[in-house]
Amino acid sequence: MRLHDSVDRFREALKRAVDEYSLKPVIKEQGVVESVEEGIAVISGLPNAMFYEVVRFSNNLKGIVIDIQEDKVTAVILEKEENVEINTPVYRTGYIVSVPVSDQLLGRIIDPLGKPLDGKPPVKTTVYYPVEREAPALFDRDFVKDQLYTGIKVIDCMFPIGKGQRELILGDPSTGKTSIAVDTIINQKDKDVICIYVSIGQRKQSVLDVYTTLKKYGAMDYTVIVSATSDSYPGLQFLSPYSGTAIAEYFLDKNKDVLIVYDDLTKHAFAYQSLSLLLKRPPGREAFPGDIFYIHSRLLERACKIKDGGSITALPVVETQAGRISSYIPTNVISITDGQIYLDSNLFNINQRPAVDVGRSVSRIGGKTQIPALKEVAEFLRLYYAQFLEVEIFTKLGVKVFGETAEIIRRGKRLRELLKQPKLKSYQVEEQVVIFFLLNEGYFDNIPEDQVNDRADFILKRIKTEHPEILKDIKISKVLTSQIKEKLKKLAEEI
């Protein structure tokens, strides 16, 4: 009897399962490869394909649609294409190219598609952000109010960068552009800033060097590296800054402050140039396609400060040749960004490092973000340094100078020495306030030029060990009060 009941129950469950099951047709739009060359596939038979849609080849390789014509589309192959041949079937996926995002990305090296490059398991997440996304609307943005400290004296004092600003770093090869970006990332430790380093077209060894340095100084705990190396396809190199920005927007949506470095947009422009020439698009100025300005502007416009929210601060890097900042890509990015830090090869060669050219560098909005103490001591530094460079020419010609001019030259030389700073050595804002206050008060005037930095470090060490309350007061109050000034003067006179 019990067996009969079990059979009846099983029969009823099976009948119910059959009734509930329905066969639904799965519609897939299929095309075929007409031609393939240098990572570019021309596909016919996909009339409804969308721009930036992911397509999948029959051998499971991925590509993205970057050109749509009446009877065919062109896709960039994102992986090795040895098995992609003419007449290979291609299928639409129906979704726009996206990158997986998660807090687990911190400390990882990934490619622009989110695949791990560090030998660790893939990031498990169900959240994907599209690499192409509209920039926040004007009414959603806020004024840039807070300074993002690089730890580099010449930048924080003379060319301050605000959270939400876009500040270009440009200069000839091997002038220290990447070093400034890496130092800035390291200086964000314990400042609640997420960092994204996007490597575009660099050698694998260069990416490894950056990773090793960041790991050594504990910066990988809050950093993501997105890498498309020089041996990657132009499609991946083109995609990499957009993928990095999508990851930055994930943290922005969590009300975080984010710093993103694009190293560098010159190689990104070359990758897009290669793609455009393969697509038979007409070349324009310097053989670049006509929309090269658009692809960089739509990227950098996504950096912003959100009302009552987080921010994305962008540091794009651009390479110049023989100091020609008037060439096409540098002028494009200069016109998009809110200022530039120009590194001069002549300054670099005479050991003035970081080799920031004060005359050709500018920050158009960062000055509004400086705390009152730093603004007070740095207000006239740029003007003073420019005057010094102007009158120093006369001394090189053998002209004797006296009075106020001699004073400008004496103090200007000390200022130039104080602006020198070795790599990976950062100065907090309160330390910079102390150094430049003492300079303005003339306490370095009688010290030999080559000993100025050592004396400044010695004074800071004494303050940290014997009078730490001075630095603490500046950090908390953000103001250089008369009491703090008197303490600093007294200490400097004792030393």
Report how far residue 463's alpha carbon sits from residue 484's, in angstroms, rounded to the nearest whole number. Answer: 12
CB 148 within 8 A of CB 155: no
Report how far residue 70's alpha carbon sits from residue 86's, in angstroms, rounded to the nearest whole number. Answer: 20
CA angle 376, 377, 382 (to 5 degrees): 105
CA angle 410, 411, 412 (to 5 degrees): 95
Report how far residue 287's alpha carbon sits from residue 285's, in angstroms, rounded to the nearest whole number. Answer: 5
Please name every residue paired with 197 in a beta bridge, in sequence order, or none if there are none: 225, 261
CB 319 within 8 A of CB 262: no
Number of other residues whose CB lies within 10 A of the CB of residue 29: 15
Query: CB-based contacts of 1: which residues, under 8 Å, 6+ apart?
Result: none
Residue 264's closest CA among 180, 326, 324?
Answer: 180
* Alpha-carbon separation of residue 384 from 353, 372, 391 (angstroms): 19, 19, 11
Query: CB-based contacts of 323: which residues, under 8 Å, 6+ apart?
Result: 172, 344, 345
CB 20 within 8 A of CB 57: no
Report how far residue 457's alpha carbon sits from residue 434's, in angstroms, rounded to the nearest whole number. Answer: 11
| Token pair recorded at residue 70 | 């009446």
133 is an active site residue: no
Measure the CA dihedral 203/152/154/407, to 10°: -130
CB 166 within 8 A of CB 232: no
Number of other residues whose CB lies within 10 A of the CB of residue 109: 22
Residue 130's closest CA among 111, 113, 110, 108?
Answer: 113
Report how far residue 286's alpha carbon sits from residue 331's, in angstroms, rounded to the nearest whole number. Answer: 13
CB 265 within 8 A of CB 200: yes
- The residue type at 113: L
- Burial of 456-480, coded b for 16+ CB within 10 Å and e otherwise, reads beebbeebeeeeeebbebbeeebeb
Query: CB-based contacts of 119: which residues, under 8 Å, 6+ apart?
Result: none
Active-site annotation holder among 56, 141, 298, 364:
364
Instruction: Return the active site residues.
Output: 364
